[in-house]
Amino acid sequence: MSTGRRKHLSVLVRQRLRNLRDKTGEDYQLLLTTYALERLLYRLSQSEYADRFVLKGAMLFVALTGKSHRVTRDLDLLGYGDASAEHIAQVFRQISTTSVEPDGMVFDPEGITVQAIREDQVYESQRVRLMARLDTAVFPITVDIGFGDAVTPEAKSLVFPGLLDFPEPQVLAYPPETVVAEKLQALVYLGMRNSRMKDFYDLYLMARTFSFEGPVLIEAIRATFERRVTNLPKDRPVALQAQFAEDPVKQTQWEGFLNRSGLSDAPMQLLTVVETLNTFLTPLLSAVEADGEYNQVWRDGGLWQPRAKVRNATHSRKSID
């Protein structure tokens, strides 16, 4: 494609994002960032490094549900292999210049920086920053990459839904069970120090959106706690107790999270979230701590039920139908 046609395409894409803003009411800068991250993810999917990274974080929820539940301005990945800053910088220089169907985006390979992340990290993690350009709009984007975590069951390929009608990224992604296991480990590990209200919301969303097989989720929790060298609690974790949700500091943190995120599907009261998570997670922790089994099924938004009971109920519904 000629330089003139590329310029025309970038102008067209930018206008289409403005149209999307007018239609949805989304923040325009957030749409720009989301589009840039999506197109970088597409370049990753078309590169030789496609099997070296696994999608996680808030953008994973977009892929799993097709909806943007929580505002994010970065891309979260699990990486395999060399975690050094020098290697990661070289990898992303190649990813950013991977040849793809023109989509209006240009990434600057020379301005890439990589810095270690030290925030509550058990394993080495790196933060990649690079500049993106769409027409005359130039802005930074961030990719956070963790290394060393267990993925149980194994990562599977899924299609990330695109904002516009360009080819969509097909990438490896965390299974929901690993998402639950990692966020649960953080709740247990941090206790009353936990100010990561996004984790409480994400777990609440998982419990309200997905169904889970108890035995599979048990294995994911066991693998994550072992890999992160975290002791399983013998009693209910403080983060799943009413005293946590009723703490004035935690209530203020929850209110601040709601105000920043603009979520419409999150409970106003942190206690509502904690009560749901207690019902969802405490039986699992008890089973793992006792080195036992948990032959139950969680139905989205409901209670744990024996697997046989669920199968019988499903069979009855089919018979009626």
pLDDT of 176 reads: 95
121-147 pLDDT, tens per residue? Answer: 567 899 999 999 999 999 999 999 999
Q: Please indicate whether residue 300 or residue 194 has the higher confidence score (pLDDT).
A: 194
94-127 pLDDT, tens per residue? Answer: 999 999 999 999 999 999 999 998 765 567 899 9
Rounded mean pLDDT of 155-179?
95
pLDDT of 305 reads: 92
196-250 pLDDT, tens per residue? Answer: 999 999 999 999 989 999 999 999 999 999 999 999 999 999 999 999 999 999 9
Amino acid at 45: S
- Which residue in 77, 75, 83 sits closest to 116, CA to CA? 83
pLDDT band at 321 (very low <50, low <70, confident <90, very high): very low
pTM of structure: 0.88
Q: Is the pLDDT of residue 167 over 70?
A: yes
Query: Computed over its alpha carbons, how large is the radius of gyration of the chain?
Result: 21
Q: Give the orientation angle of helix 176-190 with respect to helix 270-289, to 10 degrees.
A: 100
Q: Is the pLDDT of residue 262 over 90?
A: no
Rounded mean pLDDT of 259-282?
92
